[in-house]
Amino acid sequence: VMIPGNVYNYGEQMPPVLTEETPHLPTAKKGKMRCAMEAAYKKASGEGVQTIILRAGDFIEREQTGNWFDSYIAAKVGQGKATYPGSLDRVHAWAYLPDMASAMVGLAKTRATLSPFEEFGFEGLNLTGHELIKAMEAASGRSLKIQGMPWGLLRLLGLVTPKIREVMEMRYLWNVPHAIDGSKLAAALPEFERTPTDRIFADALTITAPNPDNYAAPSTA
């Protein structure tokens, strides 16, 4: 079993650098669900269900999937605008999905050398908001005016909309700095190389993101 893990497990008190040894102390509903799921697979691994978790940050990809990047951050690049949900000086973990998929294939091929239950961190891109916007400007060839998220409005909507309420519960991810350490993965897959940053954003910005004005909740699965 290959599981694309996330950083929800660590909770609001997570340290700036996340490793395979970082304690799981979830503070949100989704984090607790993730921990319960992974615990079930860890138990099953002792009964013959080999499990590999590759833990990553938010996705950047080549298609529209309703994630934070395509639905909000990059949705108005064509109008010279970018929307960033949190503090621009805090590091946030990102993963280019094609690279993560390649790493999962590599781990699957080496599974015979791994323990019944293994967890790996996928380093991807650890970027501050400023660095992310700068990379987007370089890829798009234009300056971008930065806008914030209407968190006040979302808080009100959350009173009547459970999905929005869960988005609010995960807001801390944009204000608590966190980077993923990929040392263990690098040791397991020494030949793996991620796509260069400029290529990642050039690919990601070729898609036309949906209109974010309705502020539908992005995927937080």
pLDDT digits (tens, 9 = 90+) for 80-121: 999 999 999 999 999 999 999 999 999 999 999 999 999 999
DSSP state, residue 70 = I
d(CA 131, CA 121): 21
Q: Which two tokens stand for residue 186?
A: 């690098």
pLDDT band at 136 (very low <50, low <70, confident <90, very high): very high
Question: What average pLDDT does this structure show over 35-55?
Answer: 98
d(CA 69, CA 76): 11
pLDDT surpassing 60 at residue 216: no
d(CA 87, CA 6): 20
- 5-29: per-residue pLDDT in tens? 999 999 999 999 999 999 999 999 9
pLDDT surpassing 60 at residue 38: yes
Q: Is the dihedral angle over the CA atoms 84, 18, 25, 34 positive or is it negative?
A: positive
Q: Which residue's entry shows tokens 């290529």?
A: 199
Question: What average pLDDT does this structure show over 195-213?
Answer: 75
The number of beta carbons lying within 10 Å of the beta carbon of residue 177 is: 18
pTM over 0.85: yes
Under a CB-based contact definition with an 8 Å cutoff, are residues 106 and 189 in contact?
Answer: yes
CA torsion, points 21, 30, 188, 109, in degrees to nearest 10? 150
d(CA 193, CA 123): 11
Query: What is the per-residue burial (b if ≥16 Cβ within 10 Å, else e) of 65-96?
Result: eebbbbbbbbbbbeeeebbbbbbeebbbbbbb
Note the pLDDT of residue 207.
Answer: 58
d(CA 141, CA 80): 10
